[in-house]
Amino acid sequence: MNKGVARSQVAAVAAPSRCGSTQNMSANVKVVVRVRPLNDKELEHNNQIIVDIVDDKMLVFDPKEEIRPFFYHGMQQQNKTFLKRANKELKFVFDNVCGPNATNKDVFETSTKDIITSLMEGYNCSVFAYGATGAGKTFTMIGNIENPGITYLTMEHLFHTIGSFGNEREFDIGVSYIEVYNENVYDLLKPSNTPLQLREDSKYGVMIAGLTLCNINTARELLNLLENGNKNRTQHPTDSNAESSRSHAVFQVYVKMRGKASSQLRIVKLSMIDLAGSERASATGCIGDRFKEGANINKSLLSLGNCINKLADGSSYIPYRDSKLTRLLKDSLGGNCKTVMIANISPSNTSYEDTYNTLKYAARASKIQLSIKKNIVDGDMRLSQYVKINEELKKKVKELEAKLSLSSVKVVDNKDKLMEEWKRRILEEESALSQVESKLVSLMSRQRVLALRHRLRTQAFSHVADLAHRSSYDALQQMCTEEIPRHERAAENYVKQSAGLDAKIKICWTKWCESRQRMQSLFKQALSECSSLSDFVEKLKLQSEMRLIKASDDLRYKLLCIENEEIKAFTEYMSDMPSMLKKLYLTLKGYGQAPPALTAEYLELMKKAKLAKGITWCDSQDEGDDHFKFISTLDLEKPIINLDFDVRKDGTVTDLTDSEDLTDIENRDPVRNSAMKRKGTPTKLKTEETVLIDDSIELLDATRTLGSAKKLKQEYDIPVYDNPIDPSNLNSTFVLPAKLESLKKQPVKNEVNLTTRSAFMNRPVVSQRMLNFHTTHPS
């Protein structure tokens, strides 16, 4: 047995040929009604019988009951049953009526036996069972081992008929078996969860893409396929039927016959259709999936009933496309096909409505007129006929090519319109995003410029504080009364401006995130519907990146200009520092007041000056400066960051040196004796006396300096302050009382001194310094 999935093969045997000789004839749909016997449940409840079979062609639905006469005082009384429904007593005439005692064999003899003869003559044939659930449709079509159904009997008769032809004809037979479940078509010979798709062809009619067609040679192979397909069919028990079919099954046999004596070719199709039964949800008690199945079954059967009514009325429009079932039965109901309808009904009054509807549709179906043709192709066609057919096919090909080109132009035009629409929507959203992004970048740039200015201002203040806190009383007073308040006002102003910018940035950043999210969603939708927009989308992304890069470059240029001005001022300020530092150090050393710690710091500073580089490569820069990273970059993901821009981590203004032996140098009187003669550089003092000191770097070591200071003390009786100073003799400005008395001679300064001292002592910087001092010099 060979299997294959071939649409062309199915099409070739599924439809009549339009060339060669065909014979037309008209006929009506043959309707056979089968009345099943009462089941055990109906017998138990003693249900009333509502169907009366008159003969093999006529029955009466809801006949009148025989009423026994009622006599009272010897006189017959009228029976008045006002509460009882009147009997319909409808008479129906069909091609054949099979009673409760009829077997499947009897039904076969009266319904489908004759269609095999028509099939061999070249006519398409179709048989379908119709009725309510539990009416006996599947038993009639399939049957069981003891009582096989008409499908088995028909196939058996088919092969018997084929065998009777002997060597007169050659036969090729193919079989397919499908089901329609929940409005989806599935292959029963090759089970799969993927439904098959229906296609319509103007020449071949309705076709099923991907349908399995099995070639067979014997009746046993055909019956095995039928049995395997029935095992795959969807069946579930309900309250109305313990083995209720939940799908419509279509078993089709394709036969190709070629005569050996003649060149005639007959291509025919036989369809055996077992429909699922119509049902009421209240009667079946179905819920969940079973309820959904029942709804789809009723929907397809309603569509079938509508088609039957339209065909019986001779309407020009038949709604075949209302369901998958009616599309499959299109050729069986009103096409080129001899059709037999087997209407199965129940005689019990519990199925009153279902039985009435089935009989009504069966009567309507018997009025359907069919125009059928023999599907015969003459193999001895002349050459002229082939030429004519070839020309017709060429003409048809040109028409299809013209339609295809027109369709392709429309498709291209639709794609262009779709692309333009997506581009318009994307550009609108991108314009809104760029505006929000431009505002956000502007606010972030202002924030960073403000942060840099605050940082530079803090650095400048720290330099001034370092120079002023020991220089003089006037400088200290100016620091407390002017510089510190000015610095605090600037810091408060910075905090206010920074907080305002942070609030604006947060609002703008929220809008930017929302706009960017909409843009990303728009990109995904556009690319899913029109993949050719990928270049356009990438271009917009690159433009957005370029805008951010340009804004970053502009920010760095502004920062560079500010830093350049600061560097100029700082360079001018620092250019005088080395010479000043050297003079101060040499002056202290000349007087023997340069302690070892100061000498060591001075030598270390000289080494750093020698090792200073004029160029720093980018790879060697320190990447750990968070201040620098924040100020010099625009990170839209983190527009705000909390950093402390104070230069000192501890918030204090420290001394230039932490040496304990320098705490009282600024209060010492200069040595007024020029008798010391040493080898070195002469240095002029304010008293115009000259002190010789040795400033060669090689000889400046702590030991010799300390020895020179002691030697001066011995020769010239210079007091050496080796002992620590008593802190009780110092005030808050680290000035000895002798010096303080001369400053207090001015009453104005003395009054200001109290205010200045109080203000200065309240500063956290001064408090920290006092704490450092008391820690170093405990009382």
DSSP helix/strand/coil, 368? coil
CB 200 within 8 A of CB 274: no
Q: Are residues 306 and 429 in the same domain?
A: no
Give ∠ CA 330-336-338 in degrees, rounded to 5. Answer: 95
Residues 470, 343 share a domain: no
Tokens of 330: 């299109």
Determine, yes or no, domain membership for 112: yes
**pLDDT mean over 62-71:** 70
- Confidence band of 377 (pLDDT split at 50, 70, 90): low
Per-residue pLDDT of 193-246, as tens digits, reads 889 998 887 766 788 888 888 988 887 888 888 888 888 887 655 545 556 667
- Does 349 share its domain with 420? no
How far is Cα 199 from Cα 207, in angstroms, rounded to an integer? 5
* DSSP string covering 124-151: -EEEEEEEBTTSSHHHHHTB-SSSB-HH
CB 645, CB 458: distance < 8 Å = yes
Give the pLDDT band of residue 412 (cuts 50, 70, 90).
low
Least confident of 107-121, 333-347, 348-362, 671-685: 671-685
Is 155 within 8 Å of 113 (Cβ atoms)? no
Which pLDDT does position 169 carry in this prediction?
A: 84
Task: Report d(CA 568, CA 571) in Å as an integer.
Answer: 5
pLDDT at 462 over 90: no
428 shares a domain with 511: yes
Q: Return the structure tokens found at 12.
A: 């070739």
Whether the full predicted model's pTM is greater than 0.75, yes or no, is no
CA–CA separation, 301 and 550 (whole Å): 70
- 3-class DSSP assignment, residue 603: helix
C-beta separation of 573 from 459 below 8 A:
no
Count of domains for the chain: 2
170 lies in some domain:
yes
Residues 241, 100 share a domain: yes
CATH assignment at residue 170: 3.40.850.10
Contact 271, 164 (CB under 8 A): no
The whole-number pLDDT of residue 95 equals: 92
Per the DSSP assignment, residues forming a β-bridge with 181 are 184
470 shares its domain with 429: yes
In this prediction, residues 567-575 reach a mean pLDDT of: 77
pLDDT attached to residue 699: 38
46-55, 626-635, 665-674: least confidently modelled range: 665-674
* Residues 331 and 404 reside in one and the same domain: no
664 falls within a domain: no
- Domain finish residue from 649, 665, 685: 649
pLDDT at 342 over 90: yes
Q: Among the three residues 348, 377, 406, which one is the final residue of a domain in this structure?
A: 377
Are 444 and 301 found together in one domain?
A: no
Q: Which pLDDT score is estimated for 70?
A: 61
Q: What is the pLDDT of residue 93?
A: 92
The burial class, CB within 10 Å (0-12 / 13-18 / 19+), for 598 is buried
Residue 375 in contact with residue 123, Cβ under 8 Å? yes
Residue 233, pLDDT score: 82
Please compute, for residue 394, the number of CA atoms within 13 A of its CA located in the half-sphere on the CB side. 6
Distance separating alpha carbons of residues 685 and 124, to the nearest angstrom = 134
Three-class secondary structure of residue 262 per DSSP: coil
Q: What is the pLDDT of residues 661-706, one digit of tens each?
A: 444 444 444 444 433 434 444 444 444 443 433 444 333 443 344 4
d(CA 304, CA 129): 12
Residue 96 has pLDDT above 90, yes or no: yes
* Residue 740 domain-assigned (yes or no): no
45 and 102 share a domain?
Answer: yes
Residues at the binding site for ATP are 131-138
**Tally of CA atoms within 13 A in the half-sphere of 50 that contains its CB:** 21
Confidence of residue 407 (pLDDT cuts 50, 70, 90): low
Burial 733-760 (b: 16+ CB within 10 A, else e): bbbeeeebeeeeeeeeeeebbeebbeeb
Structural domain contains residue 150? yes
Q: Check whether residue 234 and residue 365 sit in a common domain.
A: yes
Q: Are residues 164 and 225 in the same domain?
A: yes
Beta bridge partners of 369: 28
What is the per-residue pLDDT for 549?
86
Average per-residue pLDDT for the chain: 73
pLDDT at 281 over 90: no
Per residue in 469-486, pLDDT (tens digit) is 555 667 667 777 777 788
Q: What pLDDT is recorded for position 743? A: 42
Could you tell me where the DSSP H helices lie in 233-288? 281-284
Is the Cβ–Cβ distance between 456 and 646 less than 8 Å? no
Q: Are 647 and 588 in contact (CB under 8 A)?
A: no
Alpha-carbon gap, residue 62 to 347, rounded angstroms: 10
Nearest to 155 by CA among 120, 107, 114, 116: 116
Question: What pLDDT does 343 receive?
Answer: 93
Task: Say which residues have a Cβ less than 8 Å from residue 440's Cβ, sequence separation at least 6.
Answer: 505, 508, 509, 512, 636, 639
Question: What distance in Å separates the CA atoms of residue 1 and residue 579, rounded to the nearest whole number?
Answer: 111
Report the pLDDT value the prediction gives residue 101, as an integer from 0 to 100: 92
The tens digit of pLDDT for each residue in 492-520 reads 888 888 888 888 888 988 888 888 888 88
- The DSSP symbol for 533 reads G
pLDDT tens track for 152-196:
899 889 988 988 887 788 888 999 999 988 888 999 988 888 899
- pLDDT tens digits, one per residue of 713-770: 444 444 444 444 444 444 333 444 444 444 444 443 333 344 444 444 444 444 343 3
Query: pLDDT value at position 515?
Result: 87
Q: Which residues contact 193 (CB under 8 A, 6 or more apart)?
A: none
Residues 53 and 129 in one domain: yes
- pLDDT number for residue 33: 95
Element (H, E) at 76: strand 75-77
Q: 131 vs 28, 239, 373, CA distance in Å?
A: 20, 17, 29
Beta-carbon contacts of residue 471 (< 8 Å; ≥ 6 apart): none
Does any domain span residue 703? no
SS3 724: coil
Q: How far is CA 430 from CA 132, 208, 735, 740, in A?
A: 62, 48, 69, 72
279 within a domain of the structure (yes/no): yes
pLDDT over 70 at 111, yes or no: yes
Torsion of CA 152, 158, 163, 167, to 10 degrees: -150
- Distant-in-sequence, close-in-space partners of 498: CB < 8 Å, separation ≥ 6: 447, 450, 451, 454
Judged against a pLDDT cut of 50, whether residue 409 lies above it is answered with yes
Q: Minimum mean pLDDT among 16-20, 36-40, 229-233, 579-583: which range?
A: 16-20
607 within a domain of the structure (yes/no):
no
Residue 330: predicted pLDDT: 84
Evaluate whether 253 touches 270 at the Cβ level (below 8 Å).
Answer: yes
| Binding site as annotated, residues | 131-138
| Greater pLDDT, 773 or 608 | 608
Report the C-alpha gap between 357 and 295 in whole angstroms: 17
For the cut 70, the answer to whether the pLDDT of residue 429 exceeds it is yes
| Domain extent at residue 316 | 2-65+92-377
Percentage, residues of the chain above pLDDT 70 = 65
DSSP labels for 648-697? Answer: SSSS----S---GGGTTGGGSPPP-------SSEEEE-TTS-EEEE---G
